[in-house]
Amino acid sequence: MTSFTFVPLLETGIKTNKFEMLAKGIQAASTSAALAEAAEAAPEGRRVGVFPYQTLTGWPQSQPVDVGETGKKYSALAQIDGVNAYFTPFNQTPVSIQIDAAQIAMSLGRLYGFRIGLIAFVEDPPETPPEAVRSESVKSSAKGK
């Protein structure tokens, strides 16, 4: 069985739609398994996500999807403004069909040039245009300087 490396993401507060990375990584066979493990330590009412990553550069190697993962879909989060920015909703819906959604997120990250995380699918994502997310993130990172 193949396993992936994930970094857990924790929502900064209830329904803030801003997620920050936690320090401890997770090894899991699928995105749903990683989300379940991340949820075990989450405070009540706060959502969790995962950021799949690989330590090598280049495209992720294609691996078959885990049987229990087939058909599961996720909402994407993006960390657009660098490593100190929050992950925020990104209006993409990766689905584990032929490969795990983690591999889709890693590939999207390579294409877009920023990190992509995953949360449990949200039927009605918040309507936050990427420009608003970007400018809010820039303002918050400027305050920290």
Contacts of 57 (CB under 8 A, 6+ apart): none
> What's the pLDDT at 140?
43
Mapped onto helix, strand or coil, the DSSP state of residue 86 is coil
pLDDT in tens, the chain (145 residues): 578 899 999 999 998 999 999 988 999 999 999 999 999 989 999 999 999 987 666 666 777 888 889 999 999 999 999 989 999 999 999 999 999 999 999 999 989 999 999 999 988 755 554 554 444 444 444 444 3
Largest CA distance in the chain: 47
> What's the pLDDT at 141?
41
- Tell me how far apart the alpha carbons of residues 27 and 124 are, in angstroms, rounded to a whole number: 30
Sign of CA dihedral 113, 74, 29, 38: positive
Cβ–Cβ under 8 Å, residues 26 and 40: no
Q: Which residue has the tokens 């929502």?
A: 11
- Could you tell me the pTM of the whole model? 0.80
Tell me the helices (H) and strands (E) count for the chain, helix number first.
3, 7
> What's the pLDDT at 90?
93
